[in-house]
Amino acid sequence: MKNWTRVFIASLLALSAAGCATLRQFAPVVKLEPMTPGEYITLQRGDMLTTGNLSAMTTQSIRVTGLDVGACAISTPDCIQGMKIAPGISDERRMSALSELWLQHAMSIKGTSDNDDERIGAWLEAARHAYAYLFFSGRNPGERAFEDRQVQVRDWYNYAVQEAVTLLFEESLRLRAAGNPEPAAGGRITRAGWSYRIDLSGIRLPVGVQAPKELLPASSLAFKGMRSTWRRDGFGAELVAVIEDDPVAAVASLPDESAHPHRRVPLWSEMPSPGITVLFRFPGENLADVLATREVQVSVHDPYNEDSIALRGQTLPLAANFTAGYGLWLARSGFNRQSLRSLFGRDKGIDRPHLYLMQPYDPQRRIILMLHGIASSPEAWVNVANEIQGDPVLRRNFQIWQVYYPTNAPVLLNHAAIRRVLSRTLQHFDPGGTAPASRDMVLVGHSMGGVIARLMVSKADQQLWHWAQSEYRLDAKQQDAMRSRMNVLLRFDPMPQFERVVFIATPHRGTVVAGKRLGRWLSRLVRLPLTLLQGFTELLQFAPVAQATQAPDDAPVRLPNSIDNLDEHDPFVRASADLPISPRVRYHSIIARSDGSVPLEQSDDGLVPYRSAHLDGALSEKVIESGHSVQQTAPAILELRRILHLDLAERAGAQVGAALP
């Protein structure tokens, strides 16, 4: 028995000394390990762009072909070469794996100008192999519509195109700076051993502009102050093309002594940083041709005008970002400071309205014209405009225009100037007035912008002349002397282009705050532009009755400003509130009240009382618990969207009715 024990122990020691190799062969080959849903999703969808590691399917392809997973994880050219010639895998698996391996290689190259050719070449290979997978590997994209792998490869293509085109653009900037101009649009250029033909026919650049000043990936831009980023998943690289400087912001950046906006700023301008989408096509009729080519067809598209793209017999959604260009423009504008400088008549403010087109003019889309309130700017509409552009139905049917105007000027002067700017802009784009964009426009006004909006759809015959005669104590001779200049301010018809208006927190009958001590104090701080005063010197001969009775004898005579106009006791606001709105215009009210416990008739939004914001005859009235800046709230934006969808439904119904026998 003792001998047997000694033999057993000796055998165990021998097995241990041999590394237990014999025992390991009895261990289970497959073990079950629990996996959380998050780990499963990461395993299925994680890749170089999301985790910084190769995707599970690429790793599997590496194992199947017998390549070294560890070597491939550090992105060696040998791995790419091995994957190209390895037997035993389909074209689909090979092309998708090569796309990610080239992506990994491109991301590993140090980002210096000395390495630009190598980086561009790697990005192009990543895009080329993704393109080959999508269109030349056996199945078409529609057959793989629900596969995670296709989504990954599409993302690699989009990202590779984004990186390649921005590198090419940066190189072109350096060449132009060195005095080597680019060929005209449609010409052929050569970079990094590749030949590129660029097609810009899908976008409309401003007259005289051949290329953007900046080209920024939309994915690199994040914004505070915008509730949502609206984009469309699809094919192509989402970019922002900074075409030119914002003309108003550019003037504001000049030294004080040279800042004369009225001399430099045009009446209107299109979005200076539109969103675009770029595609790379690799010529060839089969997989071998695509893998052999050194040519790239680069096409640039306007995502507002194109929802889809036709490629290799397939109709694919065109990728788009509808927020990035808009957000970049607002972030760089400096509107928040400039609007206050304008209110108080300081340098680098504005002294006349400017019209912004939120996208390149489209004659087929109806216009939504937005007018901000006092001490404000287009920033007041940041989430409103963004949400409308994010609604695909509204985006297909409408284009947004915004007026930026000096909120220190009297309401009547701003009203006349805005009419003139709008008319001239429409005349520029549509001289005959026949395009859908020139008809059935929707007008949206917040606060004082709502007061101006009402004047734009109202008729004034003698009512405002009676106000001016009483206010300024004009006799018949004085009226005759001023009639030619003042008629444009005091007599007008509804603008025929508008068919619907949305008034938001609008003081139709003025506010209590404007007439109180704080309002009067702010009014005294407001300064009107010198150019404005020079244009109406004859009016300064006549002091308003209110000023004559309330101001000291030695007080300087001045024109009433915007704050004066918003006082509920101001004779002008009383006269304008009684002007008749055009019977063809349908209008709606969105009203705020800051305290829901206060009876509606006695409520206000902190500035505008309900009794002033309420308007008889409105097709709808939405009351929202909010402060005066109610236009930025989700309920107000939802209500505005509801009204716009209602407008489209009514028009569609009318067209169907007209077509019936």
Paired tokens of 224 = 């505070």
pLDDT for 477: 72
Among 176-190, 377-391, 518-532, 557-571, the minimum mean pLDDT is found in 518-532
Bridge partners of 10, per DSSP, are none
Question: Could you tell me whether strands 308-311 and 314-317 are parallel, antiparallel, or unpaired per DSSP bridges?
Answer: antiparallel
What tens digit of pLDDT does each residue of 48-57 get?
A: 999 999 999 9
- Check residue 573 and give its pLDDT: 86
Long-range CB pairs of 249-257 (<8 Å, 24+ gap) are 249/332, 249/333, 249/334, 249/335, 249/338, 251/348, 252/334, 252/338, 252/348, 252/349, 253/334, 254/348, 256/347, 256/348
Say what the pLDDT of residue 316 is.
94
Quick check: 555 pLDDT over 60? no
Q: What are phi and psi of 499, to 5 degrees?
A: -120, -10
Alpha-helix runs per DSSP H in 253-381: 261-264, 287-292, 324-333, 335-343
DSSP assignment of 121-174 equals HHHHHHHHHHHHHHHHSSS-GGGGTT-HHHHHHHHHHHHHHHHHHHHHHHHHHH
Global pTM value: 0.86
Distances (CA, A) of 454 to 130, 234, 591: 55, 42, 15
d(C-alpha 525, C-alpha 512), whole Å: 19
Residue 409 near residue 447, CB atoms below 8 Å: no
Query: Which residue shows structure tokens 């290689």?
Result: 105
More confident residue, 199 or 43: 199
What is the arithmetic mean of pLDDT over 318-344?
A: 85
What's the count of helices (H) and strands (E) in the chain, helices before strands? 27, 18
* Residue 379, C-beta contacts closer than 8 angstroms, at least 6 positions apart: 330, 333, 335, 336, 339
Please give the Cα distance from 168 to 162 (Å, whole number). 10
What pLDDT shows up at residue 334?
A: 84
**Does the pLDDT value for residue 164 go beyond 50?**
yes
Give Cα 603 distance to the centre of its chain.
35
Least confident stretch, 112-121, 195-204, 245-254? 245-254
Q: How confident is the model at residue 310 (pLDDT cuts 50, 70, 90)?
A: very high
Q: What is the pLDDT of residue 567?
A: 79
Tell me phi and psi for residue 358, to 5 degrees.
-75, -10
φ/ψ bin of 348: left (φ > 0), alpha (ψ from -120 to 50), beta (otherwise): left
Mean pLDDT value across residues 260-270 = 70
**Predicted local distance difference test score (pLDDT) of residue 450:** 97
Question: Biggest alpha carbon distance in the chain?
Answer: 141
What 3-state class would DSSP assign to 208?
A: coil
Q: Average pLDDT for residues 485-490, to the nearest whole number?
A: 78
Provide the percentage of residues in the chain whose pLDDT is more than 90.
53
Question: Which structural domains are found in the chain, ordered by start?
Answer: 43-307 (no CATH), 334-659 (3.40.50.1820)
More confident residue, 466 or 89: 89
**Predicted confidence band of residue 502 (pLDDT cuts 50, 70, 90):** very high
Average confidence score pLDDT of the chain? 84
**Cβ proximity of 311 and 235 under 8 Å:** yes
User: Taking Cα atoms as reference points, which of 577, 594, 586, 601 lies closest to residue 633?
Assistant: 594
| Residues near 358 by beta carbon (within 8 Å), at least 6 away in sequence | 271, 326, 385, 389, 399, 400, 401, 402
The label of the residue with tokens 């444009």 reads 488
Lowest mean pLDDT among 37-41, 354-358, 544-548: 544-548
What is the per-residue pLDDT for 255? 57
Q: Which amino acid is at 654?
A: A
User: How many residues are recorded in the chain?
Assistant: 661
- φ, ψ dihedrals at 458, nearest 5°: -115, 165
The residues pairing with 300 across neighbouring beta strands, listed in sequence order, are 278
Q: Choose from 66-80, 90-104, 175-189, 555-569 the range with maximum mean pLDDT.
A: 90-104
What pLDDT is stored for residue 258 in this prediction? 46
Q: What is the pLDDT of residue 231?
A: 93
Place of tokens 């491939």: 72
Pairing of strands 586-593, 620-625: parallel
Q: For position 515, what pLDDT does the model report?
A: 46
| pLDDT tens digit sequence for 407-433 | 888 888 889 999 999 999 999 999 999
- Could you list the beta-strand ranges (E) of 372-432: 398-404
Confidence label for 394 from pLDDT (cuts 50, 70 and 90):
very high
Q: Which of 51-65, 240-254, 472-486 has the lowest mean pLDDT?
A: 472-486
Beta bridge partners of 381: none
Average pLDDT over residues 549-559: 47
| pLDDT bracket for residue 2 (50, 70, 90) | low
